Amino acid sequence: MHVRALELSHYRNYRHLVVNLDPCLNIFVGDNAQGKTNLMESVYLLATGRSHRTFRDTDLISWDGEEAQIKAQVESGMGSFTMRVILARNHRKRFWVGGEELRRQSELLGYVNVVLFCPDDLQLVKGSPSLRRHFIDLCLAQVSKVYRHDLVSYNKVLQQRNNLLKDTVGDRGRADLLSIWDEQLIQYGSQVMHRRALAIELMAKFAAASHSRISGGDEILGMCYQPFYGNMRKVTSSISQEEIAQEFAKALDRNRPQELRRGTTLVGPQRDDIVFEIDGKDARQFASQGQQRTVVLATKLAELEFMREEVGEYPILLLDDVLSELDFSRRSAFLETIGNKVQTLLTTTDRGSFRSTDLMRSQEYTISEGQLISEG
């Protein structure tokens, strides 16, 4: 899939921008604070319904504007269609696909899929587990309606169970009510976890392959799902959802007294993690900056392949300011891997850094003060 044309009105520092995109590599060059990340953000928002940088939608509207609009012409296996987002100061966000307005933001996922790699993603290896859960959740939510539904349902049940726990601190009589929620918590939770386990197992294979290609094959990358219960790192496709549900039920039993005391749910997929290993050793502990960068790069490539496996076509790859930091051989290996098969939007302050890798078809743009000043 790819975005053929993008139009921004009063979005961040863009008063009005129209840009035709190449189905392969698009390189946006510009100094700092010119609007390169804003452009990436707009495509991310089109795909996911929100910004990767802020929760406040009004931040996205030009300071002197009342209403921001993102419009795109999309080509995908579903056909050719327009997408439109409107952000207003005094109204909720609105989305249109093919001229029809969506009722809910959650209906947006799946029309345009993206994989974003930005400098903050370097935290993926060593940062908090919530970053890794967000990574797998966004990936799965884009490719699977069932996963979206299970995750939303799980979070609703979790919220209600937490409310009950909070209200019943010190009131043991009402603790029985918990079991009403437990059944659903386990059901949705184990569905979410089983899907994560399968996805990470497949992604791990792709990640190991791309890691060895990028790093020249001297290190082996491992990526394992770590469910909240125990250290069962090597969860494989042979684990059934029933087994996960049993573990979940046991963990709830074990933690019941503590949950009642603390007034919150202590176990569940909201405590899952993903562990990266280099040559069998936990990368959280020892990976250098450079090694982390390569791990994240390999993981993003794995995400591309995984999504392609699931939906039959590649998502759009957004690389914001991350390639210039790579040494030449890794950068070329990376670009060769994506070849001409993935629409890629990348930003850089350094025009020179991509010159010698023009093995692939590409289009170059210069961005200055929220304007496209040259194309090609």
Ligand X SMILES: Nc1ncnc2c1ncn2[C@@H]1O[C@H](COP(=O)(O)OP(=O)(O)O)[C@@H](O)[C@H]1O
Binding site for ligand X (CB under 6 A): 12-13, 30, 32-38, 59, 61-63
User: Out of Mg ion, ligand X, none, which partner does residue 55 contact, by CB within 5 to 8 A per kind?
Assistant: none
| CB of 62 vs ligand X, minimal distance in Å | 4
Residue 94 bridge partners (DSSP): 86
The CA distances from residue 301 to 4, 107, 249, in Å, are 22, 26, 36
| Structural contact between residues 304 and 338, judged by C-beta atoms closer than 8 angstroms | yes
Residue 38 as a binder of Mg ion (CB under 5 A): the answer is: no
Secondary structure (DSSP) of 168-185: TTT-GGGGGGHHHHHHHH
User: Out of ligand X, Mg ion, none, which partner does residue 242 contact, by CB within 5 to 8 A per kind?
Assistant: none
13, 26, 34, 37: which one binds Mg ion (CB under 5 A):
37
Residues 49 and 227: their CA atoms lie apart, in Å, by: 28
H-helix or E-strand spanning residue 94: strand 91-97
| CB of 85 vs ligand X, minimal distance in Å | 15
The CA distances from residue 275 to 65, 126, 219, 272, in Å, are 44, 9, 16, 10
| CB of 115 vs ligand X, minimal distance in Å | 18
Supply 206's token pair. Answer: 């792709």
- Smallest CA-to-CA distance from 195 within 232, 235, 159 is with 235
| CB of 81 vs ligand X, minimal distance in Å | 27
CB nearer to ligand X: give 23 or 35.
Answer: 35
User: Out of Mg ion, ligand X, none, which partner does residue 33 contact, by CB within 5 to 8 A per kind?
Assistant: ligand X
Q: Tokens 């707009």 map to which residue? A: 42
With contacts defined by CB under 5 A, name the span among 35-43, 159-167, 249-257, 267-275 that binds Mg ion: 35-43
User: Out of ligand X, Mg ion, none, which partner does residue 331 contact, by CB within 5 to 8 A per kind?
Assistant: none
Supply 186's token pair. Answer: 């386990």
Residue 95 bridge partners (DSSP): 85
With contacts defined by CB under 5 A, name the span among 36-44, 74-82, 201-209, 269-277 that binds Mg ion: 36-44
User: Out of Mg ion, ligand X, none, which partner does residue 63 contact, by CB within 5 to 8 A per kind?
Assistant: ligand X
Binding site for Mg ion (CB under 5 A): 36-37
